[in-house]
Structure 1
Amino acid sequence: MLNYLTYRYNYDRKFQGAKYDEKDNPTNKAAELRQKFEGQKQEDVIDGLFENWKLDNPTLINDNIVKRFKQIIYMLLNYTYSKYAINKGYNDDVKLLSPYYFELISSPNPKENRYWEFEHCKVKLNSSYFNFSGWIGPPPEPINYWKEVEESDKSFIIDSKYYIVVARNSLNSDWKIFKLKNNGEKGSGLKTDWCERPVGWIFTSNGIYLATGNLLDTSMEYVWGKNKKYESYIKSVYRWDAIDEPNTPFISPKTEQITDWNLKQQLNVNNNKDNKIKVSFKNKDISENPIYQLEANYFNWLSITNEL
């Protein structure tokens, strides 16, 4: 999809940044792309991207994602040339013939010498006939409730919250990440990935501690925050300050840095409990026309093109 958008955007700007050497060979991306269009119809070149993908993925041709892709092309015809679009994308008839269409929000990024490239495809649902309410557009950024626990908080209380621990079992081992729940049970959070040094809670008369080592006794050798030895085996601790169970983040095994928090998407935004798009008519005179009886799930509407 991003290549579809990139190709048309540069085509419409006549590849202004194209450069060639003394033998008329292309020397940059704009010139290389322009060469692909020479002697060809623009929709054939752009749809060639999809045709090549189908050759590389023959087992997916009948998959639902192919139907979805064609529908997206149809609804984005103002931004690409394609045989899957009304009049191949040469005008904006989709605004009249389709109950709704996509308006592109993303902008291309300038690359080398007036060559433009799309890196994202964010769209807005629009229509000449309907008003939409509810959540329309990309989902909101999920909230990160992971809070790093400081060394000064080395003694824990039973809080029934989830924790993650970045730890390892020897100085030469890769770092791993463990998700534990502090629910007050004996051996709560015990992880046996490393039989010789698991990660979990130690319950003592002085408090609850997080440690690696033998969790069946009160050994304090590798207790987090207790002495300097632990630093080689427990790198960091985070607490999840929310009620639901979180996903486990991902880390770099060599650097112990968290690379992806793996957060869950928020649901039920804007108090729209069923997460559906609600539709009302801009012009009630067309409300009796069956083609415009829409469901909120707009992808269920089948394009009127022959290809679909």
Structure 2
Amino acid sequence: MKKILSILGTIGITATSTTSLISCEKPNNNENGGGNKPEPKPEKPQEPPVEGNWKLITDYNSFVFNIDNKFYFFVFQPFNSKQWKILKFKHDTDYAKEINGIPFIPSDIKVYVEMGKLKGLYCWDRVGEPQKPTINLNTGEITDWKG
């Protein structure tokens, strides 16, 4: 009798433990009640042309604190807009500035990164002031590097 109960107990435990593994239902573990979809990964910034004069910047902390008087531009999507914009600025000691009517502080770039609204930050690697590259306003892709 003990053997039969032992065998039935083993079969019962095995059967119940595998049913949760076989189940196709995925429980919703999201505290906010949203779906089970993972958060979208931020897009990889567009690489400048190899033979060009632009350099992609990915270390945003170093950028904020390294004032080098070079020209930079970044492609971003303002928080109240669906179109992308491009701003060119000189990273100098004037910490807060206005560019084309848009207030700008270099540390704002990290906020745009966190919000997924930054396509890329680029540094002009030559002497003199560069022309601002051309972008597609709907996608934020750079269409003409001009340099």
Task: Tell me, yes or no, whether TM beats 0.5.
Answer: yes
Tell me the amino acid that sits aligned with residue 184 of structure 1: T
2:132 matches 1:248? yes
**Which residue, out of 119, 128, 133, partners 1:235?**
119
User: Which one has a larger percent helix, Structure 1 or Structure 2?
Assistant: 1
1:256 deviation in Å?
0.3
2:132 matches 1:199? no
Matches within 5 A, 1:14-33: none
The Cα offsets for residues 277-298 of structure 1, whole Å up to 9 and x where unpaired, read as xxxxxxxxxxxxxxxxxxxxxx
The Cα offsets for residues 205-234 of structure 1, whole Å up to 9 and x where unpaired, read as xxxx3x16xxxxxxxxx6354xx22x22x2
Tell me the amino acid that sits aligned with residue 69 of structure 2: S
Could you tell me whether the CA contact under 8 Å between 1:158 and 1:184 is conserved in 2?
Answer: yes
The runs of 5 or more residues in structure 2 that have no matched partner are 1-50
Task: Measure the CA separation in 2 of the matches of 1:200 and 1:240.
Answer: 19
Could you tell me whether the CA contact under 8 Å between 2:95 and 2:105 is conserved in 1?
Answer: no
Structure 2 partner of 1:159: 68
Structure 2 partner of 1:175: 84
Task: Measure the CA separation in 2 of the matches of 1:199 and 1:165.
Answer: 11
Tell me the amino acid that sits aligned with residue 137 of structure 2: P
Structure 2 partner of 1:56: none
1:183 deviation in Å?
1.2
Q: Does the C-alpha gap of structure 1 residues 185 and 170 become closer, same or farther in structure 2, counting only changes over 3 Å?
A: closer
**Which residue, out of 220, 223, 241, partners 2:111?**
223
Could you tell me whether the CA contact under 8 Å between 1:180 and 1:200 is conserved in 2?
Answer: no
Could you tell me whether the CA contact under 8 Å between 1:176 and 1:253 is conserved in 2?
Answer: yes
1:199 deviation in Å?
3.3
Q: How many percent of aligned residue pairs carry the same amino acid? A: 31
Tell me the amino acid that sits aligned with residue 223 of structure 1: V
Structure 2 partner of 1:262: 146
Tell me the amino acid that sits aligned with residue 155 of structure 1: S
With normalisation by structure 1, the TM-score equals 0.28
Tell me the amino acid that sits aligned with residue 148 of structure 1: L
Task: Measure the CA separation in 2 of the matches of 1:254 and 1:247.
Answer: 21
The Cα offsets for residues 216-267 of structure 1, whole Å up to 9 and x where unpaired, read as xxxxxx6354xx22x22x221100111111111000000100000122xxxx
Matches within 5 A, 1:280-291: none
Q: How many positions carry a matched residue from both structures?
A: 95
Tell me the amino acid that sits aligned with residue 260 of structure 1: D
1:161 deviation in Å?
0.4
Higher relative contact order (CA 8 A, sep 6+): 2
Task: Measure the CA separation in 2 of the matches of 1:184 and 1:250.
Answer: 27
Larger Rg: 1
Task: Measure the CA separation in 1 of the matches of 2:95 and 2:137.
Answer: 29
Q: Does the C-alpha gap of structure 1 residues 262 and 174 become closer, same or farther in structure 2, counting only changes over 3 Å?
A: same
Q: Does the C-alpha gap of structure 1 residues 154 and 224 become closer, same or farther in structure 2, counting only changes over 3 Å?
A: farther
With normalisation by structure 2, the TM-score equals 0.55
Name the SS for the 1:155 alignment partner: helix
Tell me the amino acid that sits aligned with residue 111 of structure 2: V
Could you tell me whether the CA contact under 8 Å between 2:96 and 2:104 is conserved in 1?
Answer: no
